């Protein structure tokens, strides 16, 4: 069957960058850098980018381009059933992430409107948790639907699924061609205004001042690798799926370097903007930057609204631009996450794209309503923690070990990439994938398992955030384990007859088509 394809190389790069540039670039990276050595953090960060981030991007770009399929189909074509489950595992991890990620975008969309009249009032924390989220139930309880979240959630899914229905070239590529330049322009405006604020230099000094003692701490290096890993959308099945739509002659390594450095450039831009604004907030409140610096939901929906309240002149416009940037960054990532299972279902069952969007996207949208309830924040928090720590990180670790050490495909993939790329892959690529990445990810996983299994969190229950054993098991552990279980189950079925063959781009740009034996 004729496969969808990108219209231009720039379209693919914008889509890949759009996937990588998400909410974490804005609300996570600045704080991670600040907490781990400030300006000195960029040394392990750059090292991690060159020895893990870009090498894994090259790996996934090459897998997708060579085997011409979604993550499950690409791994099946790589080595039959013994590898297919890995693609499904990654895909179901993305499915879980999509159902709660959409809700956070809905929050940002609603806050975009709140910005015009600062509807959050003076007590931004109370507004978020009491008025907006209506968090009046205990962890594990749903409560009623919060209509102020449900309605924008419907809009988020309507936009995302509408784009996916339009296809790769007319949908995803066209949307990213609009969203990414708009996002960059908006954030440049935010940064320009931020650095002119009173106290901005105080914030930038806190962000950039190097603490070289910190980089002697192994945990700082682990933090750098961890952030790079999560930031670039690797091990989500996204980059394999996106690269499968590339044309026959595509420069794999150049595309990976451009995507990696574009993502890092936006993170640096975000760091400048965020800490310039935090410096302003600290000056206004007559406190240290450390007292106002935070990350995640607290930074975006509590600290920034408080800052906007104090903003000198046109604070409504500034707030609108900030939350619009969150919305756009979220949408570009959500459409890429959702595309992974749209492509997977299309190819496994031989159904049309329209049916796959309706089934996969519709199911995700339906489940996401859980996070639009009064107890939705608790479900979101625990699902996010466990699926990221024991889903994405675990998939990445297994992926590199499987491809490099078990299936021994690194040399074949390197030959494929080198045949069509300007920058040849040398020994550094295989060493990075085969040694550095497994060691770092393995160390991370060991630490996380020890922390969670032996309940070493400094909370009353010993669990993450002090949640009960039952809620931790059902809302967190079961979700992460379920992604793996569904991955294995889906790999047991046969592929539709239209997708059991390589097309003309498989294995090598000049290779002929050949069948895949289902019994493999």
* Helices and strands in the chain, H and E counts: 26, 0
Helix (H) or strand (E) holding 481: helix 478-491
Determine the pLDDT at residue 501. Answer: 64
Below-70 pLDDT ranges, the chain: 1, 455, 501-520
Query: Please, which residues bridge with residue 373 across strands?
Result: 145
Say if CB 442 and CB 397 are below 8 A apart.
yes
Nearest-angstrom CA–CA distance, 390 and 289: 33
Say if CB 243 and CB 60 are below 8 A apart.
yes
Angle, alpha carbons 266-272-278 (nearest 5°): 130
Sign of the C-alpha dihedral computed for residues 149, 321, 10 and 265 taken in this order: negative
Nearest-angstrom CA–CA distance, 168 and 11: 10
Determine the pLDDT at residue 230. Answer: 85
Query: pTM of this prediction?
Result: 0.94
Nearest-angstrom CA–CA distance, 238 and 250: 18
264-283: b (≥16 Cβ within 10 Å) or e: bebbbbbbbbbbbbbbbbbb
Angle, alpha carbons 79-81-84 (nearest 5°): 80
Determine the pLDDT at residue 1. Answer: 58
Determine the pLDDT at residue 97. Answer: 97
> Per-residue pLDDT tens for 269-306?
999 999 999 999 999 999 999 999 888 889 999 999 99
Determine the pLDDT at residue 226. Answer: 87
Determine the pLDDT at residue 55. Answer: 96
């Amino acid at each position: 069957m004729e496969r969808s394809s990108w219209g231009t190389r720039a379209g693919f790069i914008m889509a890949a960058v759009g996937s990588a540039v998400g909410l974490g670039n804005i609300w996570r990276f600045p704080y991670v850098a600040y907490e781990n050595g400030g300006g000195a953090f960029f040394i392990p960060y750059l090292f991690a980018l060159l020895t893990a981030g870009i090498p894994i991007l090259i790996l996934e770009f090459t897998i997708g381009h060579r085997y011409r399929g979604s993550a499950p189909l690409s791994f099946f074509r790589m080595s039959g059933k013994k590898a297919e489950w890995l693609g499904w595992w990654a895909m179901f991890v993305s499915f879980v992430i999509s159902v709660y990620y959409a809700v956070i975008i809905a929050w940002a969309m609603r806050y975009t409107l709140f910005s015009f009249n600062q509807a959050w009032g003076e007590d931004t924390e109370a507004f978020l948790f009491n008025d907006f989220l209506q968090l009046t139930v205990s962890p594990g309880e749903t409560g009623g639907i919060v209509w102020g979240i449900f309605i924008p959630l419907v809009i988020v899914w309507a936009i995302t699924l509408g784009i996916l229905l339009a296809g790769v070239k007319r949908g995803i590529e066209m949307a990213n061609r609009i969203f990414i330049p708009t996002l960059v322009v908006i954030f440049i405006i935010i940064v320009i205004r931020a650095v002119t604020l009173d106290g901005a230099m105080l914030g930038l000094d806190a962000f950039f001042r190097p603490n070289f003692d910190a980089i002697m701490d192994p945990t700082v290096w682990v933090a750098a690798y961890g952030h790079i890993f999560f930031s670039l959308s690797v091990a989500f099945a996204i980059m394999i799926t996106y690269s499968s739509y590339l044309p026959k002659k595509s420069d794999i390594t150049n595309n990976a370097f451009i995507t990696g450095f574009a993502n890092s450039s936006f993170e640096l831009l975000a760091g400048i903007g965020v800490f310039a604004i935090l410096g302003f907030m600290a000056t206004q409140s007559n406190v240290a930057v450390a007292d106002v610096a935070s990350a995640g939901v607290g930074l975006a929906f509590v600290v920034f609204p408080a800052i906007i309240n104090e903003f000198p002149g046109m604070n409504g416009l500034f707030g609108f631009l900030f939350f619009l940037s969150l919305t756009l960054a979220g949408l570009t990532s959500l459409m890429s996450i959702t595309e992974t299972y749209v492509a997977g279902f299309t190819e496994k069952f031989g159904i049309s794209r329209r049916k796959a969007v309706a089934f996969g996207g519709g199911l995700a949208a339906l489940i996401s309503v859980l996070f639009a309830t009064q107890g939705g924040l608790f479900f979101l928090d625990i699902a996010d923690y466990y699926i990221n720590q024991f889903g994405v990180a675990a998939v990445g670790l297994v992926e590199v070990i499987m491809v490099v050490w078990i299936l021994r495909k690194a040399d074949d993939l390197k030959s494929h990439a080198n045949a069509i790329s300007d920058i040849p892959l040398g020994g550094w690529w295989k060493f990075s994938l085969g040694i550095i990445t497994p060691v770092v990810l393995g160390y991370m996983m060991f630490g996380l398992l020890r922390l969670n299994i032996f309940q070493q969190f400094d909370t009353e229950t010993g669990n993450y955030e002090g949640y009960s054993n039952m809620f931790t098991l059902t809302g967190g552990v079961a979700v992460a384990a379920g992604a793996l279980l569904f991955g294995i189950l889906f790999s047991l079925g046969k592929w539709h007859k239209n997708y059991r063959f390589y097309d003309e781009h498989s294995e090598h740009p000049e290779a002929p088509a050949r069948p895949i034996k289902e019994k493999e």
